[in-house]
Amino acid sequence: MTPAFSYPEPQPEWPSWYSEYRYGAFYLFPPPDVMHRVNALRSHYDPPSAAICDAHVSLTVPLPRPLDVATLAHVTECLASQPAFTLEWGPPRVYPGVPGVVLDIAPMERVSALVAALEGCSCFRGAAPRHHAFSPHMTIAEFVSEARTQEILAEVRDLGLHGAWWCSEVVYAIPDAAFRFHERWRGRLGSQPGEG
């Protein structure tokens, strides 16, 4: 028996990196109020990226194969071993070494430990290595010029883009044939006494 996940067939018009994400990946999705706010910025400053996925924090590399019952159970165990935590988002900044405006995500150590636990799960055996070092963020605009990056940063710098949410769940999202990502599963992190 396998989970009821459906995966898209790669389309001829897909660039190669689309195909890498056929089996999805794991993400943090912000709560509705933050999601709405960041989605509005993404739609304004980067409509192509906004059309692919709602506001999110990318955690893992793409999965190299479909999830089955056994590997999903392993993911559930991995997540339960990681404590829930307060995630801080913002302010806006330039992504290091690449044009584009992102919202900072902290604490780096906590998010990095979560990524290490996830990518240590059996479902990532044989996965392609990261193209860049992990740096948690929520994207406002990517694939823009250096000049446009500075313009966007100046426009959003004073919008009060910062806050925090209680991070207790991780989302598994998969693209459809139009390469629009959809949430397909949520796993809970372990709790901390008196919090949540």
In terms of residues, how long is the chain? 196
Lowest mean pLDDT among 110-124, 127-141, 169-183: 127-141
Note the pTM of the prediction, 2 decimals: 0.94
pLDDT tens for residues 159-177? 999 999 999 999 999 999 9
pLDDT, mean of residues 52-74 = 94
Sorted by sequence, the CB contacts under 8 Å of residue 131 that are 6+ apart come out as: none
Cα–Cα distance, 152 to 140 (Å, whole number): 9
Residue 108 per-residue DSSP state:
H
Cα–Cα distance, 9 to 5 (Å, whole number): 13
Cα–Cα distance, 31 to 127 (Å, whole number): 29
Q: Which pLDDT score, from 0 to 100, does residue 52 have?
A: 96
Q: Is the peptide bond before 107 cis (omega within 30 degrees of 0)?
A: yes
Q: 171, 60 in Cβ contact below 8 A?
A: no
Sorted by sequence, the CB contacts under 8 Å of residue 193 that are 6+ apart come out as: none
Sorted by sequence, the CB contacts under 8 Å of residue 103 that are 6+ apart come out as: 38, 89, 90, 91, 92, 93, 137, 138, 139, 140, 161, 162
Amino acid code (one letter) for 57: V
pLDDT tens for residues 65-77? 999 888 999 999 9
Domains of the chain in sequence order: 16-188 (3.90.1140.10)
Sorted by sequence, the CB contacts under 8 Å of residue 110 that are 6+ apart come out as: 85, 87
